[in-house]
């Protein structure tokens, strides 16, 4: 019982710290509360986020603010078609010492940071995109056969423009699956846009302050994994993920007809983590089935693909996932 009460106190303290972090972030990134929550959830879960939105919506500003508030160092890479893997990972150079001997020295690339902003990631060639695969999954890179570990915590927040497709290379499914969540950054409502105008076009702008640091963020990630998850929530996650796979016998007819391929086990793992983060961000001790429904689209939408026929009919993944999540949640509640 003492261990349980200690865990409760730790979770409550973390919830207060997260509330302070959100308040500090919104001083510079106004509105878009859902975007802030999903980005913080990605960091709390130790994962990566893919931010998709039109230019000028503050994606870069958000990531810069996160670096300050979370107390971790950051680096930015502008992805272009001529970017090479060595421009991200680093390279070995041949040096001559004072004794005349030659040796190779490894010069680290911008990936050796704690928060990496991959701006317009789909503009780089597939060869360059793949340079991030090992770093995102294994938190290390291999150069000339030698592994180089990245300092924890390590997170990638990538941005992508959804409308400009000329000169771009779609991200491969293997890389999309390594993003914990897809975060859609939409245009703000009128009141929020008014607040943005007044706050960002004056002489002075609000300044965010540090709330976390590297060790406290790592401690928060460990605490999140200690949060209890009820059996009903676990079953809801399993039912939802399996219902989105067209080859599964339990999948609805709509999925079998419209979905080319569905999410794998990594999606279920992502849901298990993100529903805990959602509960934490709302000051709750345990996640619920409603959290599963809320996190369904961000976790699953980039891990599924519609068939050509479904796209020709004008169907979309977002409403399909929302429909399956709502049905799964109702079924579990009735049981």
Instruction: Count, in order, helices (H) and strands (E) of the chain.
Output: 15, 11
CATH of the domain at 259: 1.10.8.80
In-domain check, residue 163 = no
In-domain check, residue 279 = yes
CB 181 within 8 A of CB 158: no
Domain range for 297 = 228-335
In-domain check, residue 181 = no
Region of poorest pLDDT, from 50-54, 151-155, 171-175, 260-264: 171-175
Report yes or no on whether pTM surpasses 0.85.
yes
Q: List Cβ neighbours of 84 (8 Å cut-off, separation of 6 or more).
A: 128
Residue 57 pLDDT level (bands cut at 50, 70, 90): confident
- Would you state the pLDDT for residue 215? 94
pLDDT tens track for 74-109: 999 999 889 998 899 988 888 777 777 887 888 889
Percent of the chain scoring above 70 in pLDDT: 96
Closest residue by Cα to residue 4 from 202, 228, 189, 158: 228
Instruction: Choose the most confident range, by mean pLDDT, from 33-47, 94-108, 319-333.
Output: 33-47
Residue 156 exposure: Cα atoms within 13 Å on the Cβ side: 31
CB 152 within 8 A of CB 216: no
In-domain check, residue 270 = yes
C-alpha dihedral sign at 77, 79, 83, 85: positive
Mean pLDDT for the stretch of residues 182-211: 88
- Would you state the pLDDT for residue 102? 81
pLDDT tens track for 133-182: 889 989 999 887 888 899 899 999 999 887 766 667 888 888 889 999 99
Residue 2 pLDDT level (bands cut at 50, 70, 90): low
Residue 296 pLDDT level (bands cut at 50, 70, 90): very high
In-domain check, residue 240 = yes
Strand partners for 104: 94
Region of poorest pLDDT, from 40-44, 91-95, 259-263, 288-292: 91-95
Closest residue by Cα to residue 88 from 103, 68, 109, 74: 109
- Would you state the pLDDT for residue 88? 92
Q: Indicate if the pLDDT at residue 300 is higher than 90.
A: yes
- Which tokens hold the place of 285? 């001790």
- Would you state the pLDDT for residue 174? 84
Greatest CA span in the chain, whole angstroms? 78
- Would you state the pLDDT for residue 265? 93
Who wins on pLDDT, 3 or 128?
A: 128
Q: How far is CA 91 from the centre of its chain?
A: 27
Q: Indicate if the pLDDT at residue 334 is higher than 70.
A: no
Mean pLDDT for the stretch of residues 188-211: 87
Q: Indicate if the pLDDT at residue 335 is higher than 60.
A: no
Provide the domain count of the chain. Answer: 1
- Would you state the pLDDT for residue 331? 64
CB 74 within 8 A of CB 64: yes
Mean pLDDT for the stretch of residues 18-31: 91
- Would you state the pLDDT for residue 333? 58
Q: Indicate if the pLDDT at residue 250 is higher than 80.
A: no
In-domain check, residue 313 = yes
């Amino acid at each position: 019982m003492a261990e349980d009460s200690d865990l409760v106190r730790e979770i409550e303290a973390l919830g207060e710290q997260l509330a302070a972090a959100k308040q500090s972030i919104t001083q510079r990134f106004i509105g878009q509360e859902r975007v802030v929550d999903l980005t913080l959830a990605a960091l709390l879960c130790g994962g990566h986020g893919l931010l998709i939105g039109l230019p000028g919506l503050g994606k870069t500003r958000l990531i810069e603010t996160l670096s300050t508030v979370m107390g971790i160092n950051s680096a930015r890479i502008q992805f272009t078609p001529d970017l090479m893997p060595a421009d991200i990972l680093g390279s070995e150079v041949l040096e001559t010492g004072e004794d005349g001997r030659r040796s190779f020295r490894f010069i680290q690339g911008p990936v050796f940071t704690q928060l990496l902003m991959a701006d317009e990631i789909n503009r780089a060639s597939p060869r360059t995109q793949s340079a991030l695969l090992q770093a995102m999954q294994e938190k290390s890179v291999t150069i000339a056969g030698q592994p180089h570990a990245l300092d924890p915590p390590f997170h990638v927040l990538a941005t992508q423009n959804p409308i400009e497709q000329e000169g771009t290379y779609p991200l491969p499914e293997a890389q999309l699956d390594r993003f914990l969540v897809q975060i859609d950054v939409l245009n703000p409502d009128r009141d929020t846009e008014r607040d943005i105008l007044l706050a960002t076009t004056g002489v002075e702008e609000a300044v965010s302050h540090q709330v976390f640091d590297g060790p406290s963020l790592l401690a928060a990630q460990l605490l999140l994994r200690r949060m209890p998850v009820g059996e009903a929530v676990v079953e809801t996650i399993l039912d939802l993920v399996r219902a989105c796979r067209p080859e599964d016998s339990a999948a609805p007819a709509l999925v079998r007809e419209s979905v080319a391929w569905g999410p794998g086990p990594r999606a279920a793992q992502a849901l298990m983590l993100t529903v805990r983060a959602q509960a934490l961000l709302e000051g709750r001790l345990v996640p619920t089935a409603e959290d599963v429904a809320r996190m369904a689209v961000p976790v699953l939408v980039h891990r599924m693909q519609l068939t050509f026929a479904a796209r020709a009919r004008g169907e979309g993944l977002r409403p399909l996932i929302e429909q399956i999540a709502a049905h799964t949640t109702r079924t579990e509640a009735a049981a």
